[in-house]
């Protein structure tokens, strides 16, 4: 598809910008922790106390890794919030979190699937690598048929899934640049940070799991909406420049 065709598709069809927030799935994390791998001390360890201490250290480090990165994989994490921006000028915002659905991730994902059922263009930031496959696998886990727009598409294609990060980095998944960095670089400014209700400091994606534990879903949704709006604005700027 040509650049002009991509631009026309973006401008003239049903378009949604999407961002999700994720956190560990407690049930899946505990299931993994209940079946640890076999740990072995170095062969040159002969002292029983040293062997025991080494095995305990290995197990502790493994458990920390399982818990610490759980929210980054759909195999141990879950979607705790999503935001959609749509409309002619991005004026329509849909924001749902687990508090909205009384802790039921399946209901949250059913709502997302319904919202995207007629979508013809999807805008994300790093969605090819993270958001789309994460949501797709979580939907499949819950027996939900993923909408067409979330199904795996062609790499190096900007339509129907317009991944802002991939456009800006020429599909270099290791390239430098977060959403906020690119927004400041391209737009000159970013929306106000969303402060933590506990520290007052700007929150990051790495703090979402802690906010879930504290029940601060409103803050999580505020961050998700902020990021989705930035993604939408970046995409509009890019489209205007490549028309």
- The string of pLDDT tens digits covering residues 4-52 is 444 444 444 589 999 999 999 999 999 999 999 999 999 999 899 999 9
Containing structural domain, residue 45: 26-75
If asked whether residues 233 and 146 sit together in one domain, one would say yes
Q: What pLDDT was estimated at residue 172?
A: 92
Is residue 121 domain-shared with residue 210, that is, in the same domain? yes
List pLDDT tens digits, range 156-181: 888 899 999 999 999 998 999 999 99
The CATH number of the domain where 143 resides is what?
3.30.420.10
Is residue 50 domain-shared with residue 163, that is, in the same domain?
no
Q: What is the mean pLDDT of residues 46-72?
A: 93
- Return the structure tokens found at 102: 């009384």
Per DSSP, the chain holds a count of helices (H) and strands (E) of: 9, 5
First-to-last alpha carbon distance for the chain, in angstroms, is 13
Residue 97 and residue 51 share a domain: no
Residue-wise pLDDT tens digits, 97-118: 999 999 999 999 999 999 999 9
Q: Do 12 and 38 share a domain, yes or no?
A: no
Q: Averaged over 56-70, what is the pLDDT? A: 92
Q: State whether 186 and 173 are in the same domain.
A: yes
Report the domain count for the chain.
Answer: 2
Whole-number pLDDT of residue 4: 46
Q: Do residues 140 and 94 share a domain?
A: yes
């Amino acid at each position: 598809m040509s650049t002009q065709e991509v631009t026309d598709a973006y401008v003239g069809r049903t378009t949604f910008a999407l961002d999700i927030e994720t956190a560990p799935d407690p049930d899946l994390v505990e299931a993994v922790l209940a079946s640890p791998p076999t740990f072995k001390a170095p062969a040159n360890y002969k002292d029983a106390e040293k062997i025991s201490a080494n095995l305990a250290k290995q197990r502790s480090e493994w458990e920390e890794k399982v818990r610490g990165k759980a929210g980054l994989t759909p195999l141990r994490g879950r979607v705790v919030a999503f935001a959609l921006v749509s409309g002619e000028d991005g004026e329509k915002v849909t924001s749902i979190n687990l508090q909205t659905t009384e802790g039921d991730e399946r209901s949250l994902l059913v709502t997302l699937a319904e919202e995207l059922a007629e979508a013809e263009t999807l805008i994300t930031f790093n969605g090819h690598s993270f958001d789309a496959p994460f949501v797709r696998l979580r939907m499949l886990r819950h027996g939900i048929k993923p909408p067409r727009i979330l199904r795996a598409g062609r790499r190096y294609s900007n339509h129907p899934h317009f991944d802002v990060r991939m456009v800006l980095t020429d599909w270099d998944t290791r390239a430098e640049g977060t959403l906020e960095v690119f927004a400041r670089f391209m737009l000159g400014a970013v929306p106000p940070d969303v402060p933590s209700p506990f520290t007052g400091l700007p929150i990051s994606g790495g703090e979402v799991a802690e906010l879930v534990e504290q029940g601060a879903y409103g803050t999580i949704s505020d961050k998700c909406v902020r990021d989705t709006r930035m993604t939408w604005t970046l995409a509009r700027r890019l489209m205007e420049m490549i028309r």
